[in-house]
């Protein structure tokens, strides 16, 4: 409950810019506040202040796409050495990285969409498909739909259940 209030305070002060930065960093798979906490808090704030739900969703999707493009480009230009670095440095992430690779191997371009709906794999898929140099237009299309669904669910959860936190 205290974490949610701290996030609500930041969101109230910095608005959608805070949302953009946090979601961008989360899609880069950097440590910080997970979107699973941030986006419901955004939903709570949207409900409490009669803000635009659609605007919050659009900002979160744009931030997710931008973060995904950066990770895609890192994979594209640094390739397998960056994956090996991840394996050595963050051994606990190996299963998630391999899961993201498996989805794209098994389902092709649609694997990006599937991976976008699975925790941890959803952010790492950008790196893996950049490494195999997936067509950027297909990457964008499947990423966009997956990011929209994921972000919508989490923001709407806060929006729909926000009344429980606003007392």
Dig out the tokens for 34 from the structure: 């997970």
Dig out the tokens for 1 from the structure: 């409950």
Helices (H), the chain: 2-14, 16-27, 35-49, 53-89, 94-107, 110-115, 121-131, 136-161
Q: Rounded distance, CA 62 to CA 65, Å?
A: 5
What is the gyration radius of the CA atoms in the chain, in angstroms? 16
Instruction: State how many domains the chain has.
Output: 1
CB 146 within 8 A of CB 110: no
pLDDT per residue as tens digits for the range 19-56: 888 889 888 877 666 767 778 888 888 887 777 899 99
pLDDT per residue as tens digits for the range 128-166: 899 889 999 999 999 999 999 999 999 999 888 876 766
pLDDT per residue as tens digits for the range 74-113: 999 998 888 788 788 878 878 877 877 887 888 888 889 9
Q: Rounded distance, CA 104 to CA 155, Å?
A: 27
CB 111 within 8 A of CB 103: yes
Q: Which domain holds residue 120?
A: 2-164
CB 151 within 8 A of CB 57: yes
122: nearest Cα among 95, 145, 143, 92: 143
Q: What is the mean pLDDT of residues 120-127?
A: 84
């Amino acid at each position: 409950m205290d974490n949610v209030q701290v996030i609500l305070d930041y969101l109230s002060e910095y608005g959608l810019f805070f949302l953009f930065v946090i979601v961008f960093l989360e899609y880069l798979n950097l440590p910080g506040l997970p979107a699973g906490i941030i986006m419901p808090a955004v939903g709570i704030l949207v409900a409490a202040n009669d803000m635009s739900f659609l605007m919050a969703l659009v900002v979160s999707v744009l931030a997710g796409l931008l973060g995904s493009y950066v990770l895609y480009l890192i994979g594209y230009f640094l390739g397998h050495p960056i994956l090996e670095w991840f394996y050595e440095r963050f051994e606990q992430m190996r299963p998630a990285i391999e899961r993201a690779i498996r989805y794209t191997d098994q389902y092709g371009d649609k694997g990006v969409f599937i991976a976008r709906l699975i925790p941890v794999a959803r952010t790492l898929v950008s790196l893996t498909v950049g490494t195999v140099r997936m067509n950027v237009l297909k990457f964008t299309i499947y990423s966009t739909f997956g990011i929209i669904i994921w972000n919508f669910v989490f923001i709407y959860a806060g929006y729909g259940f926000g009344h429980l936190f606003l007392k």
